[in-house]
Amino acid sequence: MHMQEEDAKEIRSRANEVLLRGEWEEAIALYSQYIDHCSAQITFSNNAELKKSVCMALSNRAEARIRLRDLDNALQDVNNALQADPIHPKSLYWKGRILLELHRYSLASDCFRLAINHQPNTTEFQESLEKSRRFELQCKTGSYDLSDWICSGLMGRPPECAEYLGPVEIRYSDVGVGERGLFVTKDVEAGTLLAVSKPVAIARAILPEAFSENARMVIWKDFVTEIERVAKRSTKMLSRIYTLAEDDDVERKKKLGVPHMGLFRPDVEYELERPCDPVVMSRVLGIADLNTLTEKGCSVKKLAADLYCSSENDCIGLWVLPAFVNHSCSPNTARLHVGDSLFLHASRDLKAGEELTFAYFDVLLPLGMRRELCKTWSFVCRCHRCELEQSLAEDLKGIEAEFARVCDKGREREMEMSRLAVKLEEKLRQMRGRLKDKDKQLLRASFAKAYWPMCGSCVLMKRWGSGRQMPSIETVIDAVTSALPGDETALCAAAAVLDKVNRGLSLSPQGPFQEAMHRAFGICKALYGKQMKPHVIKALIHALVRNRGIIVPNS
């Protein structure tokens, strides 16, 4: 039996109500009933009123679908609406919004422009057009204005950013059979932006230390379910997700091959070579397990056990292109998280054809502890830093064991850590003939946590350092940045040094202002990019001194 006209109207108003309340699933169901009824009753051409009403219903259903990230179906809705009325402003607006999500910025601008032509003075149309124009420019030029956010000491609202694909491509890597990696395609200097990537899914958490294992697993499950949902609802996203490996099986990896970069290039049409495989939860789970990154760079498998124990705010996410970057303990790129977007900057000068790497976890640790963390990713890192420490394993065995023991301790560990720094310095002096200066710096980086407390404390310096040749804080900062050029703790220390020099309180006699500024600028460049203006860096440094846990206290 067909629905009566009055019933259809009733359904439409209920649909409008639940849409306003943000009950997306319910709104989709009700609009579907209404649209089906209208389509069965009448053809579009012979009733202008009904045509308008169906366009509105399609457009509203598209909105609900966008909120649920059901992009393919949402696009179909707005296209159907626009077929009936090619200048229907709301459908044009929602089509623009879908295209923005699909990283088709110029097409999105066209839609917003057309919507404005037919319905000027609508603030959300105007704002969306401004955003899509900004995104068009960002993805063409790789030029992003992060100044306000950085000047706020990264405390303000992060800017929304477009995706960007710089001079990079995926190729087979030397790190293992069948392994792919990301490579730079031209010579670039440190601070060059290589890519900006938006996540497939992201999960943020501020959780108390005693958060239960169960609760952690719920968050992980929700995260994986979200990836599955996105994969099911957008062919483009699915095709990206399915380029990723799900496990270490070499044959399966070989079968995946090297994906076409067109898949990651924003603002261009890319035709899939073949239809995607169906979405299978076990494969999605494997992909999430192997490729999820944490903002703070610790291993995600460890994360299931540890991360949510942290009382701090952290975030996990799946960013597809960055997931092709292999790990190194002395990497050549730095990850910067701006809201949900992941920025990848060269942190060193790079030659065309070099493989890009970043750290998957905290690498300011000695070899044994790094190896343990690597295990959770099922590989053994063979970077030059690991090889160096492997060759000195016998010499460093005692200090390393003690370091691991002290790490497990609570607050009283600062004193013991400093004693370890003294021991390591003695060891470095013993090994003088066998080590180059840069090797010494890499070793200090591995024990950075032993140096920082002493760097910041006259008491510890007096207790352990007096009469001994301990390195200056500048040497420790340089040691850390020799391994990790864009390290945040080193930046905080550099900011603190600069602050002290500025206020005439320098702990170190060889810390003139220019040198301190140069050091801080170098780290900023590696982390935030070479586009950073000096006044922005200065503001950041001030903000770091003001807001953050500074390593060097005012002793």
Ligand X SMILES: C[S@@+](CC[C@H](N)C(=O)[O-])C[C@H]1O[C@@H](n2cnc3c(N)ncnc32)[C@H](O)[C@@H]1O
Interface with ligand X by CB under 6 A: which residues?
A: 173, 175-176, 179-181, 244-245, 248, 253, 290-291, 323-324, 326-328, 377-379, 381
Pairwise CA distance, residues 246 & 52, whole Å: 47
263 neighbors 243 (Cβ within 8 angstroms) = yes
Cβ distance to ligand X smaller for residue 87 or 258:
258
Cβ distance to ligand X smaller for residue 183 or 308:
183
> Nearest 5°: CA angle at 6, between 2 and 7?
55
Cβ distance to ligand X smaller for residue 67 or 171:
171
Residue 534, number of CB atoms within 10 A of its CB: 10
| Beta bridge partner(s), residue 337 | 342
User: What's the min distance (Å) between Cβ of 488 and ligand X?
Assistant: 22
Helix, strand, coil percent content, the chain, rounded in steps of 5: 60, 10, 35
SS (H, E, C) 299-368: CHHHHHHCHHHCCCEEEEEECCHHHHCEECCCCCEEEEEECCEEEEEECCCECCCCECEECCCCCCCCHH
Q: Where are the beta strands (DSSP E) in 8-114?
A: none
Pairwise CA distance, residues 26 & 250, whole Å: 45
User: What's the min distance (Å) between Cβ of 178 and ligand X?
Assistant: 7
User: What's the min distance (Å) between Cβ of 295 and ligand X?
Assistant: 15
Q: What is the DSSP letter of 464?
A: I
Q: State the DSSP H helix or E strand holding residue 202, giving kind and residue range, or none if neither.
A: strand 201-206
| Beta bridge partner(s), residue 358 | 327
User: What's the min distance (Å) between Cβ of 360 and ligand X?
Assistant: 7
Reported as half-sphere exposure (CB side, CA atoms, 13 A), residue 12 has a value of 21
What string of DSSP letters covers 146-179? -HHHHHTTT-SPPPP---EE-SEEEEE-SSSTT-
Cβ distance to ligand X smaller for residue 88 or 180:
180
User: What's the min distance (Å) between Cβ of 322 and ligand X?
Assistant: 8
> Nearest 5°: CA angle at 527, between 524 and 532?
55
CA distances from 298 to 207, 314, 362, 378, 549 (A): 17, 10, 6, 14, 20
Cβ distance to ligand X smaller for residue 95 or 327:
327
User: What's the min distance (Å) between Cβ of 546 and ligand X?
Assistant: 36
> Nearest 5°: CA angle at 422, between 421 and 425?
85
Cβ distance to ligand X smaller for residue 104 or 253:
253
User: What's the min distance (Å) between Cβ of 278 and ligand X?
Assistant: 21
431 neighbors 346 (Cβ within 8 angstroms) = no
Query: 3-class DSSP state for residue 188?
Result: strand
CA distances from 132 to 75, 114, 125, 129, 460 (A): 17, 13, 11, 5, 54
Cβ distance to ligand X smaller for residue 245 or 544:
245
User: What's the min distance (Å) between Cβ of 64 and ligand X?
Assistant: 34
Cβ distance to ligand X smaller for residue 109 or 333:
333
Cβ distance to ligand X smaller for residue 381 or 480:
381
User: What's the min distance (Å) between Cβ of 382 and ligand X?
Assistant: 6
Cβ distance to ligand X smaller for residue 171 or 530:
171
Cβ distance to ligand X smaller for residue 21 or 375:
375
User: What's the min distance (Å) between Cβ of 172 and ligand X?
Assistant: 8
Closest-CA residue to 354 (of 134, 174, 110)? 174
Query: 3-class DSSP state for residue 193?
Result: strand
290 neighbors 245 (Cβ within 8 angstroms) = yes
Cβ distance to ligand X smaller for residue 376 or 457:
376
Pairwise CA distance, residues 526 & 359, whole Å: 14
Pairwise CA distance, residues 425 & 465, whole Å: 10
Cβ distance to ligand X smaller for residue 388 or 399:
388
Tokens of 498: 């600069």
